[in-house]
Structure 1
């Protein structure tokens, strides 16, 4: 023991410093998903060493442990495990299990060698950290779980009255492995990706970002790979949701049930807990916007003003603004479609849950309209517009592994329906003639003719700029074949 209880320490945050509130004491506080500032305002900086969130057991615990190893004077750890989000994510429980049950050598979800925490919840620690150091840390820190902010504050203040403890050793810093993506040239702004299911669309999104996304620093002490204004269109998600087997999505059905309630249901205010999307939709502005939209469409089924807003102008000043900002519901040809705008979107960890939650909201609106009126609407597409569509650097390896295992198979499952239509290619009177027809019905739209393939394909693409890339490539191949037949006086037969 050190008798001088007035000794003050300086926490050396080697990892994620912008995400931590540093004090001068010997107690670290993990707030899980609760807002760390809400606890800090009840405490004197002399009474704690550091306050930080822990959102993910697979992405956050290793950074947390590295910081504790670099600050051996921290001898007590208070873990606030209080919210539904904490239960869903499992980060706090997994950290508790590390100190209670330990760890073993194994593989991470990306196949990398690592220490696996002995817990029913997947949690990983970098293998570069020595097992000896981890064991010393486990034996040297007193760990307590609390279930409320008031309990956390009382415990930290109680610890502050006790004598100062000796550091358990010297600061320890271990090497890190850096993952550097390979980025190909591509458009930065305005991307459209379509899939039948959320799972299929998600894999295509991850591939697009990892292939051409710009790498830039974030405000969270790291990097992300980003595309601006990514439009994702999900056309045929089943009502009970599709989960692949084995499930490669970052969520499962039990998590989804909890998450959907955060979008559909209102919730009371709780100190330290951020708003939920449901709270913003149901009561934040003094109106139930979901009910407003349902009644709007029942009264005017063709209305283009069925809008819900989650953005509060005070968010600019308060911070903590919602990622989901705007929802628009529209009925087109008896289909109810939903478009959602997200200002900032973690496409690897968050988008699948975002999309499924929005799809549940879309279904709720469709079902309520059916109950209260004579309209029997079909479920149309779900569209998300992610203004910043990004993947954080701590999931780049996961993204690469997903692409390697799933992308080729998903591309093979695709059909070749093109909304731009079908094209019949013939040769007549020493010219190539291309007839464009509507998809499905086969009605003639227009025709193109000439001798030179490049001129014709340019005309087609100029008139139909949304033509699928594979379709335009196919046309180029077939037009070249038709031109060769003209030159050699052979009969041309289109490859169907």
Structure 2
């Protein structure tokens, strides 16, 4: 979930210096963890001025780990969060089950499409780690007559299948990144597009429970995290149910967790 922010005028003299460092937050439930995270970010978050082409604004911005003991227990979002039960359920359902094709394709990306319809080329799977252009061309010709054969991968079901065969497996990684698309932000073809904030989902089974570890490149802590965490832990429960085990810990790491200046006053009241 992404949110628009208002324009702001940079004024570096009005904001005290705070060290840039990772912040660690714990909570028993998603709701408690979010409240703790917002308070810590507003108190210890790094003051960062964003100069993106589409907006300029101050943020509280730090790497942040949020660790939740019981993500399936209530409250799954705080009463102070800008989200309703209806919105949370709708968002998580769309992430898990998708929308109709026309709606899915109207977005630059959706987590459903990246996790459950991920496009990959069978040529890439067996390609040498390093090769020059001529070697790569020879390899592609050998494997598929010079054509890239694209397949759609349901990473969720593949991971479930892996764990059914080996619950101790540590390679059950789901990811969303398509480098040729997502690293092309400022190229002519991708000038106004966005890339997924969720990068990696790495579940693990221990003590007969499915533990979820999430990595995001950036995350709007105040406005988007409640919905993101609700949806990701809904996916966690779905996978745990499919495996016939319990729901374990939820660990959410954002490399750039932020609170935008336009909600500072509201965030300080949490």
Category of TM-score, reference length = shorter chain: 0.7 to 0.9
Alignment of 1:179-258 (within 5 A): 183=16, 185=18, 187-218=19-50, 219=52, 220-228=55-63, 230-239=64-73, 241-244=75-78, 247-258=79-90
Alpha carbons of structure 1 residues 282 and 307: separation in structure 2 relative to 1, 3 Å = same
Of 118, 131, 134, 1:284 maps to 118
Distance in 2 (alpha carbons) for counterparts of 1:259 and 1:181: 38
Q: Which runs of 4+ in 1 moved over 6 A?
A: none
- Give the 3-state SS of the residue equivalent to 1:259 in structure 2: helix
Distance in 2 (alpha carbons) for counterparts of 1:343 and 1:386: 6
Paired residues of 1:265 and 1:279 also in contact (CA < 8 A) = no
Q: How many angstroms does 1:239 deviate by?
A: 4.8
Paired residues of 2:17 and 2:47 also in contact (CA < 8 A) = no
What 5-or-longer segments of structure 2 have no aligned partner?
120-151, 185-189
Match of 1:344 in 2: 218
Q: State the Cα deviation string for residues 346-390 of structure 1 (Å, max 9, x = none).
A: 1010111111111100000001112xxxxxx22111100110011
Paired residues of 1:324 and 1:340 also in contact (CA < 8 A) = yes
Match of 2:161 in 1: 295
Match of 2:239 in 1: 365
Match of 1:428 in 2: none
- Give the 3-state SS of the residue equivalent to 2:202 in structure 1: strand
Match of 2:261 in 1: 393
Distance in 2 (alpha carbons) for counterparts of 1:236 and 1:195: 8
Of 197, 201, 216, 1:327 maps to 201
Distance in 2 (alpha carbons) for counterparts of 1:280 and 1:316: 15
Alpha carbons of structure 1 residues 297 and 181: separation in structure 2 relative to 1, 3 Å = farther
Alpha carbons of structure 1 residues 251 and 327: separation in structure 2 relative to 1, 3 Å = same
Distance in 1 (alpha carbons) for counterparts of 2:250 and 2:3: 28
Distance in 1 (alpha carbons) for counterparts of 2:25 and 2:73: 21
Over aligned residues, Cα RMSD in angstroms? 2.6
Distance in 2 (alpha carbons) for counterparts of 1:269 and 1:206: 36
Q: State the Cα deviation string for residues 226-263 of structure 1 (Å, max 9, x = none).
A: 112x111011133565355xx21111100011110232
TM-score by length of 1: 0.42
Larger Rg: 1
Q: How many angstroms does 1:190 deviate by?
A: 2.4
Paired residues of 1:266 and 1:283 also in contact (CA < 8 A) = no
Mapped pair 1:378 → 2:246: yes
Of 98, 112, 116, 1:266 maps to 98
Q: How many angstroms does 1:272 deviate by?
A: 3.9
Distance in 2 (alpha carbons) for counterparts of 1:217 and 1:393: 10
Distance in 2 (alpha carbons) for counterparts of 1:181 and 1:338: 40
Alpha carbons of structure 1 residues 203 and 181: separation in structure 2 relative to 1, 3 Å = farther
Q: State the Cα deviation string for residues 439-474 of structure 1 (Å, max 9, x = none).
A: xxxxxxxxxxxxxxxxxxxxxxxxxxxxxxxxxxxx
Q: How many angstroms does 1:183 deviate by?
A: 4.8
Q: How many angstroms does 1:264 deviate by?
A: 0.6
Distance in 2 (alpha carbons) for counterparts of 1:380 and 1:354: 17
- Give the 3-state SS of the residue equivalent to 2:70 in structure 1: coil
Paired residues of 1:198 and 1:237 also in contact (CA < 8 A) = yes
Alpha carbons of structure 1 residues 350 and 303: separation in structure 2 relative to 1, 3 Å = same
Paired residues of 2:77 and 2:226 also in contact (CA < 8 A) = no
Alpha carbons of structure 1 residues 291 and 312: separation in structure 2 relative to 1, 3 Å = same
Q: How many angstroms does 1:182 deviate by?
A: 6.1
- Give the 3-state SS of the residue equivalent to 1:368 in structure 2: helix
What 5-or-longer segments of structure 1 have no aligned partner?
1-32, 34-53, 64-175, 371-376, 403-496
Q: State the Cα deviation string for residues 460-495 of structure 1 (Å, max 9, x = none).
A: xxxxxxxxxxxxxxxxxxxxxxxxxxxxxxxxxxxx
Could you say which structure has the greater relative contact order, defined with CA pairs below 8 angstroms and 6 or more residues apart? 2
Question: What number of residue pairs does the alignment pair up?
Answer: 222
